[in-house]
Amino acid sequence: MTVTETYASMQAQARRVLVGQETVFELLVVSLLAGGHVLLEGVPGTAKTLAAKTLAALVSGQFQRVQFTPDLLPSDIVGTNVFQAASGEFRLREGPIFCDVLLADEINRAPAKTQSALLEAMEERQVTIDGVRYPLPPSFMVVATQNPVEYEGTYPLPEAQLDRFLFKVGVGYASAEAEQEVLRRYHQGFDPHDLPAAGLGAVLDAAGLARARAEVQSVRVDEALLAYTTGLVRSTRESSDLVLGSSLRGAIGLLVSAKALAAVRGRDYVLPDDVKALAHPALRHRVLLQPEAEIQGLTADDVLERVLGSREVPR
């Protein structure tokens, strides 16, 4: 199957359990195809966990959920070597990070040392325990969540860690019609803890994901679009509303995800609209507002919209 056909099948399956979160689901799939990680920001009860579980089920991957808390240790995530008295040897007890899709729930509730335990895994697809490196699956993906309203007992994510997320996605409430449909499904017996009972089945295996990523890699990008993407990211560093603009990693992520979005939408070439559509989720967490801009009520998205409006779009 092509990437477009694969995505259509994934959409059809996801609709069995997800209602009203089409944009969030599309960005999750784009991130998966681009080999990235996603930070979902939204109040509790907006189907963030369900979206991550759905994605894992669709790629026949192992799903693990870690509830981040102030007393969570790095070893609670990556694992540790445990002495076996019977054999007289140390044996690795793998942590939940050894999976395909890791849901890091309320990631900003853990202290920086524990949050940083994810950095090597997110960047290198490996973890180091007692000096030994252990590879993670090629499909390894972190889907982290945080609550934008409640700040008591939380720790802001370090800039270096934020930069490892391909997207930061705002997850809001669904429409009234979608919420009514959710209630109807629960009334009819839907159980979010038993997705197979809802008819959810795998669409991709490891080989299929590798083929899909190879197709994404072959998507064409002309030189003018490379210049547009570069200029867009560099403009964030020159904005008077920002203390910090996007890193080069942001430009790379924007390019790779635009290629994935083009493939999802049935094209073997990237359009400027693909870059513009992903600029907000790909860059909003990589920029830092000036205090004066915050006082004026501006958000990162407002500034990015100004930057997008200031750049000439290639034809």
Give the model confidence (pLDDT) of 137-185 as tens digits.
988 999 999 887 766 667 778 788 889 999 999 999 989 999 999 999 9
Q: Mean pLDDT over residues 38-54, rounded?
A: 92
The per-residue pLDDT for range 199-257, each reduced to its tens digit, is: 898 999 889 999 999 999 999 999 999 999 999 999 999 999 999 999 999 999 999 99
> What does the pLDDT average to over 288-296?
91
Distances (CA, A) of 235 to 232, 249, 275, 276, 310: 5, 15, 15, 14, 9
Q: Compute the Cα dihedral for 150, 31, 65, 172 and give only its sign.
A: positive
Strand pairing partners for 127? Answer: 134
Q: Does the pTM of the predicted model rise above 0.85?
A: yes
* Rounded Cα–Cα distance for residues 117 and 257 (Å): 25
> What's the whole-number average pLDDT of the chain?
91
Kindly list the structural domains of the chain, giving each domain's residue range(s) and its CATH number in brackets, ordered by start: 3-210 (3.40.50.300), 219-310 (1.10.8.80)
CA distance 89 to 174: 53
Residue percentage of the chain with pLDDT more than 70? 99
Question: DSSP alpha helices (H): ranges in 79-175?
Answer: 112-124, 159-162
Residue range 110-135: average pLDDT?
87
pLDDT of residue 148: 78
Q: How far is CA 259 from its chain centroid? A: 16
Work out the end-to-end distance of the chain between its first and last CA atoms, rounded to an integer number of angstroms. 31
List strand residue ranges (DSSP E) for the chain, in order. Answer: 38-41, 63-67, 79-84, 89-94, 101-105, 126-129, 132-135, 141-146, 167-170, 242-244, 288-289
- Predicted local distance difference test score (pLDDT) of residue 292: 92
pLDDT number for residue 85: 80
- Tell me the pLDDT band of 11, cut-offs 50, 70 and 90: very high
